[in-house]
Structures are given as C-alpha cells and as structure tokens.
Amino acid sequence: MIERKKRRAPDWNRQTRPPVPRPPPKSCDCQFHIFGDPKKYPLRYDPTFQPPSATFADMQNVLRILGIERGVIVHSMRFDIDHSLLIDTLSALSPKGLQLRMARRNSSRSSAAGSGGASSFQCLRSMSM
C-alpha cells in the first residue's frame, strides 16, 4: 500500500480590505467552497487533504467586506456525494428570497446517495449574505 502524505490547503488571508471602487450592486461571487468541522463533515474523497478553515460564516464576512451581495457555494468534490454540509448550511439561512432546486445525476452513483442522488443545488433567487 502506498502511503500518502497529508497535504494542507493554503490558508487564505482574512484581513480583506474593501476594494476601491466598490463592486456594482448585486455583484456575485460565482464560486466558493466551504468546509466545516471535519468530525461532523468528514472528507469522502482524498482524506489525506487537509482543507482550510473556510466556513460559510467566514465567507459571509469576506463578501460583506468586499461589498459582494450574492454568492454561489460550490460543493467540494472532496465530500463526494455527501451533501450534508451544504444542506445544513442552506437550512440555517433565512428562507426569504431563497429558492433551491435539487439536480439529479443520471449515474449509478446517484442511487447510492440514499437521498435522491443530489449533485447540486441551484439558487434561483439571491440570498442575503
């Protein structure tokens, strides 16, 4: 068996400054990943990878400082078909202005998901950051 070394994702700078000029109203960060407590949300793919501390609350703060009102959470492939972090994060948001649509995969892996094989959620309206 080949031993894999633990790999750590680079930490990101939380000392974000507001840009000048500010972005236009309703600007959107088109992609960011979030990670949670590894005991509650363990990685399913490549467990040697050590993700950065990057919670949804961290991203909300960064986006607020940058003046970005909307964002798209992209499910990390490291969680494979386990969407529990994404579901828990979105469930904790205020439902005002938030609509979700579950997309299904057309693969044999989707039946293994147990919860319908969700592969993504699409926000149809903006969510308040």
Tens-place pLDDT, residues 6-38:
777 767 777 788 999 999 998 988 888 899 998
| pLDDT value of position 67 | 93
Q: Higher pLDDT residue, 44 or 106?
A: 44
User: What are the pLDDT digits (tens) for 52-91?
Assistant: 888 998 888 989 999 998 888 888 888 888 989 988 888 8
State the DSSP string of 31-65.
EE-----TTTS--SS-TTEE-----HHHHHHHHHH
Q: Per-residue pLDDT for 97 more than 90?
A: no
pLDDT at 117 over 60: no
Q: pLDDT value at position 96? A: 57
